[in-house]
Structures are given as structure tokens and as C-alpha cells.
Amino acid sequence: MLTNSEVRALPTKLVRKILRSGASDAAVRLNASSSTMIRFSNNDITVSNFFRETVLEIYIAFKERRVTGTITDLSQPSIEETVERLVSAAKTVQPSDVYAPLPRGPFKYDRRLLRVGKVKTEPEVLVDHVKASINSAISAGAKRVAGSLNATVSKTVLCTSGNVEASSTKSTIALSVRAFAADDATGQFATVAADDSDFKPEEVGSMAGEIARMAMNPVEGEPGIYDTILGPMTFAHIVDELGSAASAFNVDIGASFLVDMLGRQVASSSFTLTDDPTLSNTYGAEPFDDEGLPTRRNVIVEKGVLKTYLHNSTTAKRYGTVSTANAGIIVPTPFNLVVEAGDRSFEKLLSGVDRGIYVTNDWYLRYSNYREGDFSTVPRDGLFLIRRGSIETPIKGLRLVGNMLRLLNSIVALSTERCWIEWWEVNTPVYAPWALVSNVEFTKSTL
């Protein structure tokens, strides 16, 4: 078994070994992480988890013949066997359509991004966070509270055949709280941070508890078309879908509603979205992508117009452009999605709605057609009828049915206030405002 320092030196050693076999390209990425996750329900901690894992990701290319491998078995024989197997497979595998060499370094990385985060991970501290969030939710009106808290410390080491030898460390914390004022009166809120000073478990608990209290005694909602305010949890979900749809790989396979939309209006002019891993000390900050390119701020949508897909070197070559430094060696992905702030408060958004619905959270978004963007999602937690600029009553039993492009093009206004959201339903951190969207359709069960 290798020592810790030997493990850290592995990427460089393996890249050299792979290149000696005649490979044109190699990238080896090692990620060693320790996570503590506390889960709670009914105001009680149900399990405390500690995950310690070191993952080795290997990419080998003989020009167009490419393979990827992932292992967690870091014993010497396992590593050697895996590399031999991957090299052998790469030599004989059927070629892909393009060959894009890995980017040539060395590169300069933003020093602020090489060491992200300042988070305490001692169990006692984390248990105190949990208790604080539960207590604040109860103070705000909840009877019972559930959720999860996850603190992670990780180190990434990357070596590529393009003269990249880089490493970074990161510590982050994430909290999701669901509050129940009654079985059918719930509220949920979540936050992520890379610094304890930005982490406010009490506020997350209060927010969830307050929504739950407001959701007491809901009445059946009426299906129809409404002007709708999407809270940050739901708007982050929509934006997360947009970020995924912007991946050139997903565009290629038809798993995106942004096919043939470059340069075209995909959202209203009040919507601008960037992917910004260069925001230091945020949850999604990253100094380099999986090909070793320094990350950069990419404007995906500017005033409603789609400006770029997200690329790695291979998808960029296929599209005749340059990488946006969003590798995933096979699938480019966003890191840290930021919606530009709007120009009004939540109260102002609300006051502009004569007859509408406020969706605080949703889950289970599924497409009938990814290519067209036809989807539905199920509001959960506080769902409210808005009348003449005020929240009138909590409602239940409705489903939001729509089309992504139509919904994004129907954004009327965004709030000035934004929240960092990442939770069970939102994979990429999103800095999301409240959004007022016109003409959103809601349906309900017919029997």
C-alpha cells in the first residue's frame, strides 16, 4: 500500500509511465477528500457519516483512440493493472471523430483559487450548526425539522501531458433544512459556503421555518396560467438545467434545449448568466479544469442571448472554437453559475403581481423532450396564491408544466437579493435571485 506522499505523487508518475507506452496524451487527476455529513429528521440526528476517499481519474489518448478510467483501489498492483489495461484498451479501441491534444502548459493559476475555503469540520462544531438550524426553524414556526449538513475538505492534484502539474485544496460546507409546521405545511431552504463567516445555519433554519408557518392550512390550488414568482430554490433548479443544457456534449446528443440556439434569444433581456469559478472563496470556485486550463468567467447568456456553449478541448474542436475551460474530459460542465442581479426587491416583485403563484421550492423535474425543453416539475413546500400584490393563501396539489425556452423568455424581472443554492435537486451551485415569470401553466390531477 502506498503512503500518503506517494499517493500525492502518483499523477506525475503515471503520466510519465503512460507517455512511455506511446500515448499521445495523458491526464491523471487525483482527488482526496474527507467529508462529514450529519443527517437529521424529527428534530433528531439520525446518522453521522464520515467519508474518506481518494479517487484517481485517468485519461489516455492515442490520438483519436481515447479511454477514461476511475479507480479508488490505490494499491500498487491495482494501479499498475489498471494503467496497463487502459493503455491496452486505448491502443485498440475504435477511434472517435476528432483528436484535440490536451492544452499545452505550463499555465499560471490564480493563487486565490488554489486554496479555497476556511471551514471548521470538528464534529462538535457541526452538531452545533445542526442544532442552531433546528432551533431557529422551530422558533420561526416549525414543529419538526429535517435536513443534512455536509462539510468537506479536499485536495486535487492534476498532471497532464501538456506540462500541467497543479494542485489545489478546498473546504466547503452545505446545509439543507426542511421544516414542517404540519404534514402538509412545509418549507425548505439551503445554502452553501466556502467560509464559516458566510455560513448562516440560523438563517437557513429561519427561512425554512417561516415558509412552513406561512404554508399552514393550504387549500387545493386551481389549475391555470399564472404570473409566477420562483423563489431562489426553484429558480436555481431551472438555471441548473440551463447550465447542463449549455454543455456542448449534451447539445451534441440532443439532451439540450439549446441546440442551434447560439446567438439567439433563449431568455428575456433581463436575464444574464455567467459561469464563474474565479469567484474566490465561493463553493464552486476552481482554479483549473480537468485538462489543466486555468478556469475563467464565461458569459453563457447575456441579456437573453446565448453567447457560448461550455467546451473542453475536444468539443471545442468539433465546434471549431476554443475551450471555455469547462472540462470534464468527456462532458464539459459548469462550475459556479451566477445569475446577474435584478433591479427590485422581492416585495416589489410581489407587488407587481395581480393574480399569481409563488413557488418556494420544487422537485422531480423531468422532460418529455430534452431537445424541445418540454418539462414538468412538482412544487413542494410553501406554494402560495398571490392576489393584488400580496400573498393571499397557501395552496397545494399543483404541478408546473412548461417549456424551458418559453419560461426563460417569460422572465419579467429578477430580485436584487440573491442566495447561493446547491442541494439534492440542484447539482451546480447557483447564485440565484427570485424571478417573476409571466404566464406559467399549472396543472393538477384529474382524479
In whole angstroms, the minimum distance from the beta carbon of 273 to another protein comes to 24
**Closest Cα to residue 109, out of 174, 184, 67, 164?**
164
Q: Backbone phi, then psi, for 292, in 5-degree steps?
A: 90, 0
Q: Backbone phi, then psi, for 107, in 5-degree steps?
A: -115, 160
Q: Smaller CB distance to another protein: residue 34 or 351?
A: 34
In whole angstroms, the minimum distance from the beta carbon of 42 to another protein comes to 5
Q: Of the candidates 12, 21, 401, 438, which one interacts with another protein according to CB under 8 A? A: 401
Please report, as residue ranges, which positions from 40 to 69 form the binding site for another protein (by CB under 8 A): 41-54, 59, 61, 66-69
In whole angstroms, the minimum distance from the beta carbon of 340 to another protein comes to 29
Please report, as residue ranges, which positions from 67 to 126 form the binding site for another protein (by CB under 8 A): 67-75, 78, 82, 85-86, 89, 92-97, 123-124
* Interstrand relation of 390-396 and 383-387 (parallel, antiparallel or unpaired): antiparallel
- Integer Cα distance of 147 and 177 in angstroms: 4
With cell 497532464, the residue in question is 160
- DSSP three-state, residue 17: helix
Please report, as residue ranges, which positions from 376 to 395 form the binding site for another protein (by CB under 8 A): 376-378, 380
Is the separation of the CB atoms in 339 and 430 below 8 Å?
Answer: yes
Q: Smaller CB distance to another protein: residue 48 or 351?
A: 48
Q: Smaller CB distance to another protein: residue 385 or 413?
A: 385
The size of the interface with another protein (CB under 8 A), counted in residues, is 94
Q: Smaller CB distance to another protein: residue 349 or 383?
A: 383
- DSSP three-state, residue 429: strand
> Helix crossing, 123-140 with 201-214: angle to 10°?
30
Q: Smaller CB distance to another protein: residue 303 or 318?
A: 318
Please report, as residue ranges, which positions from 298 to 317 form the binding site for another protein (by CB under 8 A): none
Please report, as residue ranges, which positions from 174 to 193 form the binding site for another protein (by CB under 8 A): 176-178, 180, 183-184, 188
Helices (H), 262-344: 313-319
- DSSP three-state, residue 129: helix
In whole angstroms, the minimum distance from the beta carbon of 261 to another protein comes to 14
Q: Smaller CB distance to another protein: residue 109 or 257?
A: 257
In whole angstroms, the minimum distance from the beta carbon of 378 to another protein comes to 5
Helices (H), 225-341: 232-245, 248-252, 313-319
Report the chain's C-alpha Rg in angstroms. Answer: 23
Q: What is the DSSP letter of 196?
A: G
In whole angstroms, the minimum distance from the beta carbon of 222 to another protein comes to 13
Vertex 107: Cα angle to 101 and 111 (nearest 5): 140
Q: Of the candidates 121, 262, 399, 409, which one interacts with another protein according to CB under 8 A? A: 399
Q: Smaller CB distance to another protein: residue 127 or 391?
A: 127
Dihedral through CA 207, CA 131, CA 427, CA 263, nearest 10?
A: 30
The cell for 326 is 469547462
Q: Smaller CB distance to another protein: residue 197 or 445?
A: 445
Please report, as residue ranges, which positions from 310 to 369 form the binding site for another protein (by CB under 8 A): 329-330, 363-369
With cell 440532443, the residue in question is 254
Q: Smaller CB distance to another protein: residue 67 or 350?
A: 67
* Interstrand relation of 390-396 and 44-62 (parallel, antiparallel or unpaired): unpaired
Q: Smaller CB distance to another protein: residue 61 or 166?
A: 61
- DSSP three-state, residue 447: coil
- Integer Cα distance of 310 and 298 in angstroms: 8
Please report, as residue ranges, which positions from 126 to 145 form the binding site for another protein (by CB under 8 A): 127, 130-131, 144
Neighbours of 91 (CB within 10 A): 14
Q: Of the candidates 372, 389, 391, 416, which one interacts with another protein according to CB under 8 A? A: 372
Q: Of the candidates 36, 160, 172, 234, which one interacts with another protein according to CB under 8 A? A: 36
In whole angstroms, the minimum distance from the beta carbon of 364 to another protein comes to 4
What track of x and - describes contact with another protein for positions 234 through 273 (by CB under 8 A)? ------------------xxxx---x--------------
Neighbouring C-alpha atoms within 13 Å toward the C-beta of 203: 9
Q: Is 146 in the site for another protein (CB under 8 A)?
A: yes
